[in-house]
Protein backbone atom coordinates (compact mmCIF):
# COMPACT_ATOMS: atom_id res chain seq x y z
CA UNK A 1 0.00 0.00 0.00
CA UNK A 2 2.88 2.36 0.72
CA UNK A 3 3.92 2.16 -2.94
CA UNK A 4 0.49 3.26 -4.17
CA UNK A 5 0.15 6.02 -1.60
CA UNK A 6 3.58 7.39 -2.49
CA UNK A 7 2.76 7.30 -6.22
CA UNK A 8 -0.57 9.00 -5.58
CA UNK A 9 1.01 11.76 -3.53
CA UNK A 10 3.84 12.36 -6.01
CA UNK A 11 1.85 12.18 -9.24
CA UNK A 12 -1.79 13.02 -8.48
CA UNK A 13 -2.11 14.98 -5.24
CA UNK A 14 -2.45 18.71 -5.65
CA UNK A 15 -0.28 21.07 -3.53
CA UNK A 16 -3.24 22.21 -1.41
CA UNK A 17 -4.32 18.63 -0.56
CA UNK A 18 -3.26 16.67 2.52
CA UNK A 19 -1.18 13.49 2.19
CA UNK A 20 -3.11 10.41 1.08
CA UNK A 21 -4.38 7.89 3.57
CA UNK A 22 -4.64 4.17 2.87
CA UNK A 23 -7.42 1.99 4.15
CA UNK A 24 -7.54 -1.77 4.29
CA UNK A 25 -11.05 -3.20 4.45
CA UNK A 26 -11.34 -6.69 5.89
CA UNK A 27 -14.37 -8.92 5.97
CA UNK A 28 -13.25 -10.61 9.17
CA UNK A 29 -11.78 -8.75 12.13
CA UNK A 30 -8.43 -10.37 12.96
CA UNK A 31 -6.28 -7.90 14.87
CA UNK A 32 -3.23 -10.19 14.70
CA UNK A 33 -3.25 -10.13 10.88
CA UNK A 34 -3.60 -6.35 10.85
CA UNK A 35 -0.77 -5.85 13.32
CA UNK A 36 1.60 -8.16 11.42
CA UNK A 37 0.69 -6.56 8.10
CA UNK A 38 1.20 -3.00 9.23
CA UNK A 39 3.77 -3.17 12.02
CA UNK A 40 6.74 -2.08 9.88
CA UNK A 41 5.07 0.89 8.27
CA UNK A 42 2.75 2.31 10.92
CA UNK A 43 3.03 3.15 14.56
CA UNK A 44 0.45 1.62 16.88
CA UNK A 45 -1.22 5.02 17.18
CA UNK A 46 -2.11 4.88 13.50
CA UNK A 47 -3.94 1.55 13.65
CA UNK A 48 -7.60 2.17 14.22
CA UNK A 49 -9.91 -0.19 16.01
CA UNK A 50 -12.28 -2.27 13.99
CA UNK A 51 -15.74 -1.07 13.16
CA UNK A 52 -18.31 -3.76 12.56
CA UNK A 53 -20.72 -1.58 10.62
CA UNK A 54 -19.79 -0.01 7.30
CA UNK A 55 -21.47 2.76 5.39
CA UNK A 56 -24.28 1.67 3.11
CA UNK A 57 -23.46 0.15 -0.27
CA UNK A 58 -25.31 2.99 -2.00
CA UNK A 59 -23.10 5.64 -0.38
CA UNK A 60 -19.99 3.60 -1.16
CA UNK A 61 -21.04 3.19 -4.82
CA UNK A 62 -21.75 6.93 -5.07
CA UNK A 63 -18.35 7.86 -3.64
CA UNK A 64 -16.53 5.35 -5.87
CA UNK A 65 -18.32 6.71 -8.94
CA UNK A 66 -17.32 10.21 -7.87
CA UNK A 67 -13.68 9.14 -7.52
CA UNK A 68 -13.69 7.44 -10.93
CA UNK A 69 -15.17 10.56 -12.47
CA UNK A 70 -12.45 12.73 -10.94
CA UNK A 71 -9.75 10.29 -12.08
CA UNK A 72 -11.11 10.24 -15.64
CA UNK A 73 -11.24 14.03 -15.71
CA UNK A 74 -7.64 14.24 -14.48
CA UNK A 75 -6.55 11.72 -17.08
CA UNK A 76 -8.27 13.65 -19.88
CA UNK A 77 -6.69 16.91 -18.69
CA UNK A 78 -3.24 15.35 -18.58
CA UNK A 79 -3.52 14.28 -22.24
CA UNK A 80 -4.40 17.76 -23.45
pLDDT per residue as tens digits for the range 4-43: 888 999 999 999 999 888 776 766 667 777 677 666 665 5
Rounded-to-integer distance, Cα 34 and Cα 45, Å: 13
Q: Which among 53, 61, 3 is positioned nearest to 25, based on CA atoms? A: 53
User: Where in the chain are the domains?
Assistant: 2-78
Cα(5)–Cα(11) distance, integer angstroms:
10
| Cα 64 from chain centre | 11
In this prediction, residue 21 carries a pLDDT of 81
pTM over 0.75, yes/no: no
Amino acid sequence: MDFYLEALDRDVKKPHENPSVGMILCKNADIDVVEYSLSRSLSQTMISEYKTKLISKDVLREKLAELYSIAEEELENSHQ
